[in-house]
Chain A
């Protein structure tokens, strides 16, 4: 194809910033989050297939009823997603004139608390299992249960760090919308992932 002198219209990297500074694109965070989520999905997919293969390969699989508190945690996590959604809409409102960042902050803190509550709830679930004498190495089923819940909890803790980061920026009122969006994308994904894991464990364990 013969080249034209008019470069095709594609987004410029943000032209802000004086020379001799590095300029980076505005859509970077959301792309990054999506790529990251792809990797996380793949990881859990690998664990899932491992679980299915392991379940099929040997007769030693023992089923056990997992702690009721998990359902409570599930509700908490879903609730936190809603509060985060509220936070986003309230933050958008700030852009549209509403001066006070208080409501958004309150919603964010709510999310933070609920998220923390979820992690504690998971911890409680592990304690319950231990009292029942079900440990990591007791049986492949328990191994996978701990594996999935612990890894998910770690990811949620990562999300909590992200939230605190967002909150601190909002306090200094230097929060960029895309940051909040990226964080909430991650957070909602954690909720979806948990629902998936819960279903998987419910079927298999």
Chain B
């Protein structure tokens, strides 16, 4: 089954609409498909967050039009507590799995990894196509939860049993939760196929002269991420299978005995361990954070070098740091469980590796900022979003200092501080990476330049808006504002409502300005001015071919690589840079090791 002659069908350009655009084996089409799916998911997720924010500050007000979405979830447009939690669950699941994992990793990775290493396609095009369509099915299975029984599950994207394992635990826990578990299991399979492809392609299909150290930083990021993903999703899949079995087959992996839900004794389960799910889930869950953030970091480094017009202070150190982060991410999952009844000693065992992750992250940031010193910064939408990423990464990172320590986590755990932390570092930062990638590679992917003015306006509004939304979350957390509440009825939460109002206004504004981006994307796709092969004077191989690249990426002429990826800030015939595949002899900038 794993055989090169799976490419037999691949030996000629595909004919017919279906083969060309739908069930295409071409990694570029598949990359775009992932990107499109992510775009759809992020729009849905954003609307859900709007609804949640509106409900939080006006819990008893009718939200116009909502009653058409769900008559039981929002009778007369007034959102019920369970519907809030159901929307929250869907928001989290869509964003983490179908946006943060799909776009920076699967989307851009599929499109550019083979091109950047001079390959003509992924190693297993069939698996590649399968991985997308599997993910696609998973997506719609998840969305289907909106329309079954009493709606989507309400157990959050972490789906802790027994809440997520017992149908009687609440609305949405019957069919909706089962669909959720199935969808995630399917998603895992898709990601495993994708990771398999990425790793094999990177190892085997590099063109002549493309040593591992000559790969661009984003290629490295995708490679490391796929290694993380291969292990992480291989653990989430079993967890989902066990959960599904507990739900439909009556096994007791996670469900203990003697539970009483609304006066009914749950008789058919005994002895299960809810902590087992938490361990399995977070063993996946923490690496997942880096599956979301590392590709963004790689993309951003790739873009920053280009707009700095100079190599980073060190190419290798960045790679080693990303490796270190990926490696450490497997030793820290317990820091999500400081207060869930683990032994207090193991809490410390998880706390220190978590703190150690700060070091490679800091080095990354220092390299990004330090290389900016004395550079000639080219200001464009892409570079602005990349710099915005650095700022967000720092902000989200420092709040990690707090949560990494059990003694502080015991106060901040389960508050908006956590929500602010992971939205900053995992949500906004990764999304900035996507925006940067879109403005930078859009011309290559669609063959049209995007509008820079609109891009810069979009950046400024999004940047300010994101800070206005997520900075206050930390303050709320300091006061002990509990997360996942559908309304704030506690005496000490009432005075915080003004802050929540401010956040809601900011969220509505920030969400609205994304229309600028959508307009820019769609308008330039059709009406933008044609893009040259190398609009940004880039050096890596994706700029060595036309925009968009031909079906086999290099028109049959496999490029040969002569240089390190980022030869900027030099005197060469082409200007202040020389491309990886140009045989021109140049005096390279010395690079520290």
Contact = CB atoms under 8 A, between A and B. Distances in A.
On whether A and B touch (CB less than 8 Å), the answer reads: yes
Interface of A: 1-3, 5, 7-8, 10, 12-13, 17-29, 31-33, 35-36, 38-40, 42-43, 46-47, 49-50, 53-54, 57-61, 136-137, 140, 143, 147, 158, 161-162, 165, 169, 174, 176, 178-179, 182-183, 186
A7 B200 contact: no
A182 B3 contact: yes
Contacts of A33: 2
A59 B552 CA distance: 60
Contacts of B245: 136, 143, 147
B382 interface: no
Interface string B111-136: 00000000111011100000000000
A32 B242 CA distance: 27
B120 A54 contact: no
B280 interface: yes
Given A8-B211, A140-B252, A143-B251, A32 B237 contact: no
A7 B230 contact: no
B249 A5 contact: no
B29 to A, nearest CB: 13
Contacts of A8: 209, 211
B63 interface: no
Interface stretch (B15-23, B265-273, B302-310): B265-273
Given A13-B558, A32-B200, A57 B273 contact: yes
Contacts of A24: 4, 7, 119-121, 123, 204-205
B555 interface: yes
Contact of A20 (B2, B209, B237, B555): B555
Interface stretch (B160-168, B419-427, B561-569): B561-569
A174 B5 CA distance: 10
B196 A32 contact: yes
B544 to A, nearest CB: 15
27 contacts: A3-B563, A7-B208, A7-B560, A7-B561, A17-B11, A19-B557, A20-B555, A21-B12, A25-B4, A28-B4, A31-B123, A32-B2, A32-B196, A33-B2, A35-B200, A39-B196, A39-B230, A49-B279, A50-B238, A50-B276, A53-B273, A53-B275, A60-B257, A137-B249, A158-B1, A176-B4, A186-B2
Contact of A176 (B5, B10, B209): B5
A195 B192 CA distance: 25
Nearest to A162: B1
B251 A140 contact: yes
B195 to A, nearest CB: 8
A36 B235 contact: no
Q: Is the interface of B mostly helix, strand, loop or mixed?
A: loop
Given A25-B205, A28-B4, A42-B235, A5 B583 contact: yes
Nearest to B274: A57
A27 B10 CA distance: 18
Given A3-B564, A29-B4, A136-B249, A50 B280 contact: yes
Contacts of B561: 7
Interface of B: 1-5, 7, 10-13, 119-121, 123-125, 192, 195-196, 199-200, 203-211, 230-231, 234-235, 237-239, 241-242, 245, 249-253, 256-257, 268, 270-273, 275-276, 279-280, 283, 551-552, 555-558, 560-564, 567, 583, 585-588, 591, 593
Given A10-B208, A140-B252, 7 more contacts: A10-B210, A22-B121, A36-B196, A50-B280, A57-B275, A58-B270, A58-B271
Given A10-B211, A23-B120, A58 B256 contact: yes
A19 to B, nearest CB: 3
A183 B205 contact: no
A39 B238 contact: no
Which 7 A-B pairs have CB atoms at the shortest separation, nearest pair first? A19-B556, A58-B271, A7-B209, A42-B234, A60-B271, A57-B273, A22-B120
B238 A54 contact: no
Contacts of A136: 245, 249, 251
Contact of B2 (A12, A50, A182): A182
A27 B206 CA distance: 12
A99 B5 CA distance: 23
Contacts of B587: 2
A140 B280 contact: no
A28 B273 contact: no
A59 B271 contact: yes
Contacts of B257: 60
B7 to A, nearest CB: 6
Contacts of B125: 22
B234 A39 contact: yes
A28 B123 contact: yes
